[in-house]
Amino acid sequence: MGDTTYNAYITAQKQFDSVADLIDLEQPIRELLRQPSREYHFTIPVKMDDGTTKVFNGYRIQHNDARGPAKGGIRFHPQETVDTIRALSLWMTWKCAVVDIPLGGGKGGIICDPHNLSKNEQERLCRGYIRQLAKNIGPTVDVPAPDVMTNGQHMLWMMDEYETICGSHAPGTITGKPVGMGGSLGRTEATGYGVIYNLREALKELNIDITKTTASLQGFGNVAEYAAKLYTKLGGKIVAISCWDNHDKKAYTFRNTSGLDIDKMVSIKDSFGTIDKVKAQDMGCELLDGDEWISQDVDIILPCALENQLTPATFAKISDQVKVICEGANGPTTPDCDELIKAKNIYLIPDFLCNAGGVTCSYFEQVQCNMNYFWSKEEVLEKLDYKMTSAFHAVHNLAKEKGLYMRDAAYVIAINRVAEAVKLRGWV
């Protein structure tokens, strides 16, 4: 997952330790919060279409549930590691806390490549995952959702298997489901829109007109697509997009210095975010190396793919023109790169604030499922905008007041909220 010289779990713990020192957090709370509360490791035997049986490794990790049920995605990836999932479970706790929703942090994953699995094999894999976990998830325990290379159909199969085992309807068990089957309107757009709600507010604080800005984007999955759509709708111009090409097993950067037509780019990508190279070049795009997205002369860079993408080595390529980094992905920046960002005085919107729109809308979906009453898309997005904007200004104001780096300010708010819940419960 990303640069293999970095371990996401160690990164997450370093970030936590740094802020724990800053706020002088008590030692027992440090020990409790710097590691997951529970981990489930298991195997999933799946009958393949050719009659053979393949065994997959699956994981579900619950970091902390002091503020509410664990919440977090399930990802499918051939290079998935348990340490990545541990890190993501920590970040999910802080993400829920910083936007102040009553949920804790969890994360799950299966080591697999869904590109190489038929639809029926994917369904059997999803159902097998839930059979291993049914006793340890649920609407008041742990609520999974989609993540890298999983989607609403996967979630629906999982929900159906859980309901079959439990013998009752429980749509609030899993979020990110299709609309009409317990899914929330606005959920598809939520993470990407949340990124841009944060960016919009940051540019206001920096006295920068969004219509005069340019941006470069890494990734073109769900998050990046809707971030790109809203950013360009607000008047910004995207000049480069980097995405993975599954056929060539490498990334490419698609560039048009006059600005990319996002709707046209969406029309030539597949469900995994791979852009058709031939059609893109026919539309006037230059085809560059996958790493070139980071070296473009733009005002804003948006890493919206995987972790460990901004390292000292890649940061050296960043243009002096860059003013803002929006972390649409989880953990895209390594701790040693944070120091370089500070030194260059680039305004950073940290991942667990920037991309919290997804879990916020998942929370809205859970609420709607439990009420059995669903809101309009406009109402969902209005509530999402309010939540994201409020969270951004709380972090920005603390950073300004205390002279803190934005990531540290977000951590101070999140860790203090979780620590207070832990103390009030009498856990330490």
Burial class (CB in 10 A: 0-12, 13-18, 19+), 112: buried
Query: Do 200 and 339 share a domain, yes or no?
Result: yes
Long-range Cβ contact pairs of 423-427 (< 8 A, separation 24 or more) = 423/29, 425/66, 427/32, 427/66
The enclosing domain of 202 has a CATH number of: 3.40.50.720
Query: Do 232 and 106 share a domain, yes or no?
Result: no
Please check whether residue 189 is in contact with residue 376, taking contact to mean a CB–CB distance below 8 angstroms.
no
Please check whether residue 18 is in contact with residue 25, taking contact to mean a CB–CB distance below 8 angstroms.
no
Query: Do 192 and 155 share a domain, yes or no?
Result: no
Question: What is the DSSP code string of 167-213?
Answer: TS--GGGS-SPPBTTTBPTTHHHHHHHHHHHHHHHHHHHTT--GGG-
| Interior angle at CA 122, CA 116 and CA 127, nearest 5 | 155
Cα–Cα distance, 176 to 145 (Å, whole number): 5
Query: Do 108 and 192 share a domain, yes or no?
Result: no
Per the domain annotation, does 332 fall within a domain? Answer: yes
Q: Which of 354, 384, 399 is the last residue in one of the domains?
A: 354
Per the domain annotation, does 386 fall within a domain? Answer: no
CA dihedral of residues 218, 219, 220, 222 (deg, nearest 10): -120
Query: Do 266 and 332 share a domain, yes or no?
Result: yes
Per the domain annotation, does 402 fall within a domain? Answer: no
What's the longest Cα–Cα distance across the chain? 63
pLDDT in tens, the chain (428 residues): 344 478 989 989 999 999 999 999 999 999 999 999 999 999 999 999 999 999 999 999 999 999 999 999 999 999 999 999 999 999 999 999 999 999 999 999 999 999 899 999 999 999 999 999 999 999 999 999 998 889 999 999 999 999 999 999 999 999 999 999 999 999 989 999 999 999 999 999 999 999 999 999 999 988 999 999 999 999 999 999 999 887 888 999 999 999 999 999 999 998 778 898 989 999 999 999 999 999 999 999 999 998 889 999 999 999 999 999 999 998 899 989 999 999 999 999 999 999 999 999 999 999 999 999 999 999 999 999 999 999 999 999 999 999 999 999 999 999 999 999 999 999 99
Amino acid of residue 204: K
pLDDT at 266: 94
Contacts (Cβ under 8 Å, ≥6 apart) of 37 = 62, 63, 64, 65
Contacts (Cβ under 8 Å, ≥6 apart) of 153 = 178
Indicate the helix (H) or strand (E) that contains 126.
Answer: helix 119-133
Six token digits for residue 368: 């709607």
Amino acid of residue 209: D
Per the domain annotation, does 82 fall within a domain? Answer: yes
Query: Do 220 and 269 share a domain, yes or no?
Result: yes
The enclosing domain of 45 has a CATH number of: 3.40.50.10860
Closest CA to 245 of 265, 219, 226: 219
Closest CA to 188 of 152, 155, 242: 152
Query: Do 194 and 153 share a domain, yes or no?
Result: no
Query: Do 143 and 235 share a domain, yes or no?
Result: no
pLDDT at 3: 44
Q: Which of 172, 198, 220 is the last residue in one of the domains?
A: 172
Query: Do 123 and 235 share a domain, yes or no?
Result: no
Q: How many domains does the chain have?
A: 2
* CA separation, residue 26 to residues 243, 381, 391 (Å): 43, 38, 25
Cα–Cα distance, 20 to 49 (Å, whole number): 50
Please check whether residue 300 is in contact with residue 327, taking contact to mean a CB–CB distance below 8 angstroms.
no
Q: Rounded to two decimals, what is the model's pTM?
A: 0.92
> 328: domain range?
188-354
Alpha helix ranges (H) inside 259-333: 262-267, 277-282, 312-315
Six token digits for residue 155: 């979630």
Q: Give the residue numbers annotated as catalytic, written as ranges.
A: 107
Query: Do 142 and 290 share a domain, yes or no?
Result: no
Q: Which of 354, 385, 413 is the last residue in one of the domains?
A: 354
pLDDT at 2: 44
Q: Is 214 helix (H, G, I), strand (E, B) or coil?
A: strand
Q: Compute the Cα dihedral for 362, 364, 369, 373 and give only its sign.
A: negative
Per the domain annotation, does 144 fall within a domain? Answer: yes
The percentage of residues in the chain with a pLDDT greater than 90, rounded to a whole number, is 90
Per the domain annotation, does 142 fall within a domain? Answer: yes
Per the domain annotation, does 89 fall within a domain? Answer: yes
Query: Do 113 and 227 share a domain, yes or no?
Result: no
* CA separation, residue 74 to residues 110, 122, 143, 198, 210 (Å): 8, 13, 10, 25, 34
> What's the pLDDT tens digit per position in 45-79?
999 999 999 999 999 999 999 999 999 999 999 99
Cα–Cα distance, 162 to 174 (Å, whole number): 9
Per the domain annotation, does 76 fall within a domain? Answer: yes
Query: Do 141 and 203 share a domain, yes or no?
Result: no
Q: Please, which residues bridge with residue 349 across strands?
A: 326
